Homo-oligomer: A and B are copies of this chain.
Amino acid sequence: MKAIKDSVHDHITLDPVAADLLDTPAFQRLRHIKQLSTVRLVYPSASHTRFEHSLGVYHLADRALSHLAVDDDTAAHVRAAALLHDVGHGPYGHQTERVIMRHTGRHHDDIADLLPATEAGTVLEDHGLDPDRVAALVRGEGDLGGLVSGELDVDRMDYLVRDAHHTGVPYGTIDHERLIRELRLRDGQLALAEGNVWTAEALLLARALMNGTVYRHHVSRIAGAMLDRASERLLAHESGPEVDEFARMADHGLLVALREHVPDLGARIERRDLYKRAVWAGLDEVDAALADLSYDDQRAAERDIAEAAGVDDHEVIVDAPSRPGIKESNTHVVVDGVVRRLEDASELVGALRATERAGWRLGVYAPEPVVDDVRGAALDVLGVRATP
């Protein structure tokens, strides 16, 4: 069996299906999509891609399956789903997710339409696997869907430890081998075995710390917001791609297309010449409604602010994330012989929820020369209360 050397999991052994899937254009494309997209502008050594991440997820799924009593056919589908779980991502991964969603209504883990259209679907069928079943697992459906996409999925286990390895930020170094060994399938529900409340909490904490220090770093958020706006302008450009073509681009294609068709933002992203924060306000400082602002409302606010500040529309970006949630609170653990939700067994889940809320920030960004003008206008337009 073919083995690939990985810096995180050492040798990854590929089964024949995986070896064939690897050679398909849909999978090779992942070589050109960085795992951490704009985070790399803060942590320069984080240049890893969704290609090696997908191999890692496949590897962990395989390890987990070796500890669970699962029939061979199901296991083969789960492994394929683990390998393919990210082929639906657009260029720059999560950073173009909302653009694509707005134009197509499609989320990156919806690959039901994608699989039949590509060689990957053919490879699956040639090996006697059902592409629809693989796509369903990628959406997290079925007993073992949770292993691919859920509260205790191997996706998260791989990215936390891989992102830690490549950023140098240690918080993501979870004990993935223990998590995998302690997984149980109880009444069609993945749960951690007795004695693993700490194990589950550690996973939760690792993600919270990586959120705070890595994934939601303000520099990455600024670059991501610039990319979002630039992508919209690219799609609106007469020589720009259609959205389906856009969604199939990879990082290098997008970067070149932006430089060509949206040169102001394109060059800025390429050279890390980013907008600065004009406003950076917590939930206590803004009207509650701001955390629920639609995209159109955000764009309208940008225009209002630009007008008030006397700058060009493109020079104001309003970045109001939706309210934070903690998916992992639905993690299940066995406590005293009973499967319980982690939330009910752990004192920490509630506190992490509060911490996530405390970390929420409304951002308004603008080029450095006009940042003060934009700040004044934005505080006014958005009704941000001054921090004491």
Contacts and interface: CB of A to CB of B under 8 A. Distances in A.
Interface of A: 3-8, 10-11, 23, 25, 28-29, 31-32, 34, 40, 43-49, 51-52, 55, 165-171, 173-175, 177-178, 181, 198, 201-202, 205, 209, 212-213, 251-253, 255-256, 270-273, 336, 346-348, 350-352, 354-355, 358, 387-388
Contacts of A11: 177-178, 181
A354 B347 contact: yes
Copy number of this protein in the oligomer? Answer: 4
A43 B167 CA distance: 18
A149 to B, nearest CB: 22
Given A44-B31, A45-B48, A252-B255, A7 B165 contact: yes
B45 A52 contact: yes
Contact of A355 (B29, B173, B346): B346
A170 B173 CA distance: 6
Main secondary structure of the interface of A (DSSP, over half): helix
Contact of A34 (B7, B47, B354): B47
Contacts of A205: 205, 209
A271 B28 contact: yes
A11 B255 CA distance: 29
Contact of A252 (B28, B174, B251): B251
A47 B47 contact: yes
Contacts of A10: 168, 177
Given A45-B7, A47-B34, A347 B336 contact: no
18 contacts: A3-B181, A5-B168, A7-B168, A8-B45, A28-B270, A32-B255, A34-B47, A44-B52, A44-B55, A169-B175, A170-B170, A170-B174, A171-B202, A198-B209, A202-B209, A252-B252, A336-B388, A347-B358
Contacts of A52: 44-45, 47
Contact of A348 (B34, B177, B351): B351
